[in-house]
A and B are shown apart, each in its own frame.
Chain A
Amino acid sequence: MKKNQTISKQIWQFFCSARLAVYTLVLLALTSIIGTIVLQNGAEEEYIKFYGHGWYNLIKTFNFDDMYHAWWFLGLLVILCINIIVCSIERLSSTWKIIFPKKITFNPDRFRKLKNLETITVNRTTPDLTLEFEKLLSKTVGHVSKEETGNSALLYAEKGRWTRIGVYIVHTSLLLLLLGALIGSLFGFKANLNLDEGKSSDEAILIDSKNPVKLGFSIQCNDFNVKFYDTGAPEEFRSNLTILEDGKETLTQDILVNHPLRYKGINIFQSTYGSAPPDSISLEIIRQEDKMALIKNVKIGEEIQLSDEETLFMIEEFLPHFDFNGNDLGQAFVGRIVEKDGKSFQIGLPLKFPTFDKMRKGTFAFVIKGAEQKHYTGLHITKDPGIWYVYAGFFLMIIGCWITFFMAHESYFVEIETAGEMSSTISISATSNRNSHGLRLKIRKMRHIIKG
């Protein structure tokens, strides 16, 4: 670096360098490995148990526990972006001059010296061959420029100048991708919502901070279904959802894994499911003295009168874990009996033991006939205003790679000279900004066509 360069010039030079690009890419590749080996976003205890205190401090210092969001990793990405921008600006002006030249000129001597020059002599006249080559070149390449002198002709044709823009498209697509990711992380969110069948909610829980976030509308889960294969593996999860705005139904739709619902920039994905507490129970109520039985469906909170027309019964609540003398009997309803003298007490009705209440030997025995198993649907709710930048980046990346890899700026040069009465010498050569071997094959093919 020269002494008299200004600081800003030096910085520009630094980011201009293609060597920097290679180093940055190598560093990105190497450091990315860390995050696949060290557990990401785990709890402190997990790290301490696994690596011990010393290593944990190191992990914490360098954010290896969330390394793809660590300052130094993001810093590498920023360097990559600046590198691409500076490098592209620096090169674009010269590329531009190649793509849009004031005047297309060619230097015959340069083509005569090319390694892929093929020379043949055929028994045809120069004008005849010139015409044929002109046709061939304009068909397979493009516009042909011709210079004819008495007994020789020069033909020149080229195509694909614009394909030199391909790499710029590739690099721009990368910037778009990263921009989209940035927008997504700044203005979007990722949240979860567990919704019982029949319930609705207008907010979800953010995954990162566990805080609620307002959606701007309500989601109601009308129904959830899960189907299984014979093997027991799940085949399909399906939720029927309704979107409510100001209490009014605006949209009802089924969602499945891979078939989310998108509404006003918010995406609702089927993610998991689980069992929700049942809200009613079907009971056989047996009067102990005469064994008279009747079946009733009771909702939580509902109060019914029993057949002696004096005793009241209600279901108070549903417990996921019912404790009986220190034993966990699992899911159970809790009922309350109020006798005519006002004496009241609770009874437990565990789902796993339908006849459990008979043991109590009370006036009435409650036998569980069934409880409708309800589900909740686990929804993943996201908003990502950056997604269109990301998708545009994806699209440009593929287009750009295609142009860069499979198209080229090619120039063909053909010189035809009269060699005798009825014979001429043809020299064909070509240049390309890519794939020299492919070009050689093309030249040979051209020679082949002319030779017949």
Chain B
Amino acid sequence: MNSSFLLSSTTFIYALASVFYIGSFAFKKQILSKAGFVVLVIGFLDNTAGIIMRWVESYQMGYGHAPFSNMYESLIFFSWTVAVLYIFVEFKYKESIIGVFVSPLIFLAIAYASFDPNTSSKISPLLPALKSNWLIAHVITCFLGYAGFAVAFGFSIMYFVKPRNPQSESMFAKLPSWELIDELTYQMVVFGFLFLTIGIITGAVWANSAWGKYWTWDPKETWSLITWLIYAIFMHLRIIRGWSGKSLAYISIIGFVAVLFTYFGVNYLLSGLHSYA
């Protein structure tokens, strides 16, 4: 058994979990979302095993580095972080129905890693600049941040599908109360903001120890700053301007678009120092 087997099986298990969640939604069967949760947890364990396995393999190949060093590995880790965050939320708030908005994200990220021809799943050695514990801290915290924003994005979508009328027969009528959606979205943004903050900071400390500059305005850095500013705006609008609901959900969606751009767009469209992630 090797890591690529574990990780590709993870992809299918996450796909199955999404199917269950969506099914529970479409057919209004609570039992299906319960099954979805179980499958998601299994996928998560598989995902964890895959990451650990890959770490071990990199040592066996003599490169010996944590598996957070390229696009493929970071996407796998992204799925993992979103999964762990979502499992935590469902566990704490016992609202299984919201999984329908998050499980597809978990699946899509890992599927993209496996099927995109541009991302290589080969384990390759690290360049000298990337050998740093700060870098590991940087990648982990950034991805926890991104995961928070991804889950917040999933929750924000609920504002646009939940019917206003509580008597509605729509399949979205069962969604949690507006208050709870609001609270959950905010909690996830807060989580994401804290970790993105730490992520940017550890990145700056790393850059300072590798190159003697903590901030260079390279496109990736700048875009993570833009993302950070958008979520700072989100929090100020909520706290000091009293925004809530749909209008705030738009900001969360814009923020997540910025996350995606920081993550993919910068790599493919703009040039800079960060060769990956």
Tell whether A pairs with B: yes
Q: Which of A30-38, A95-103, A136-144 is near enough to bind chain B?
A: A30-38
* Given known A-B contacts A233-B127, A234-B127, A401-B197, A258 and B226 have beta carbons under 8 A apart: no
Q: Does A260 reach chain B (CB closer than 8 Å)?
A: yes
Q: Report A-chain residues with C-beta under 8 Å of the C-beta of B197.
A: 397-398, 401
- In the complex, the answer to whether A28 meets B211 with C-beta atoms within 8 Å is no
Q: Does A187 reach chain B (CB closer than 8 Å)?
A: no
- In the complex, the answer to whether B212 meets A267 with C-beta atoms within 8 Å is yes
- In the complex, the answer to whether A25 meets B210 with C-beta atoms within 8 Å is no
Interface residues of B, dominant DSSP: helix
B243: nearest residue on chain A (CB-CB)? A22
* Given known A-B contacts A26-B233, A29-B226, A36-B270, A394 and B205 have beta carbons under 8 A apart: yes
State which of B128, B213, B229, B241 has its C-beta within 8 Å of the C-beta of A19. Answer: B241
Cα–Cα distance between A436 and B209 once the two chains are bound (Å): 42
- Interface size on A, as a range, is 35 or more
Q: Report B-chain residues with C-beta under 8 Å of the C-beta of A397.
A: 197, 201
Q: Does A236 reach chain B (CB closer than 8 Å)?
A: yes
- In the complex, the answer to whether A258 meets B179 with C-beta atoms within 8 Å is no
- In the complex, the answer to whether A405 meets B128 with C-beta atoms within 8 Å is no
* Given known A-B contacts A233-B127, A387-B214, A394-B205, A29 and B229 have beta carbons under 8 A apart: yes
Q: Does A152 reach chain B (CB closer than 8 Å)?
A: no
Q: How many contacts A-B (CB < 8 Å)?
A: 109
A400: nearest residue on chain B (CB-CB)? B197
Closest chain A CB from B159 CB (angstroms): 17
Q: Report A-chain residues with C-beta under 8 Å of the C-beta of B132.
A: 258
Most buried by A among B128, B230, B232, B233: B128
Q: Does A211 reach chain B (CB closer than 8 Å)?
A: no
Q: Does B240 reach chain A (CB closer than 8 Å)?
A: yes
Write out, one digit per residue, whether chain A residues 1-43 have a CB within 8 A of any chain B CB (1) or not (0): 0000000000000000011011001101100110111001000
Cα–Cα distance between A270 and B131 once the two chains are bound (Å): 13
State which of A257, A384, A436 has its C-beta within 8 Å of the C-beta of B210. Answer: A257
Cα–Cα distance between A28 and B197 once the two chains are bound (Å): 17
Write out, one digit per residue, whether chain B residues 82-100 have a CB within 8 A of any chain A CB (1) or not (0): 0000000000000000000
* Given known A-B contacts A231-B125, A233-B125, A258-B132, A269 and B210 have beta carbons under 8 A apart: yes
Cα–Cα distance between A186 and B177 once the two chains are bound (Å): 54
- In the complex, the answer to whether A18 meets B236 with C-beta atoms within 8 Å is yes
Interface residues of A (CB under 8 A from B): 18-19, 21-22, 25-26, 28-29, 32-33, 35-37, 40, 68, 181, 190, 229, 231, 233-237, 256-260, 267, 269-271, 380-382, 384, 387, 390-391, 394, 397-398, 401-402, 405, 435-437
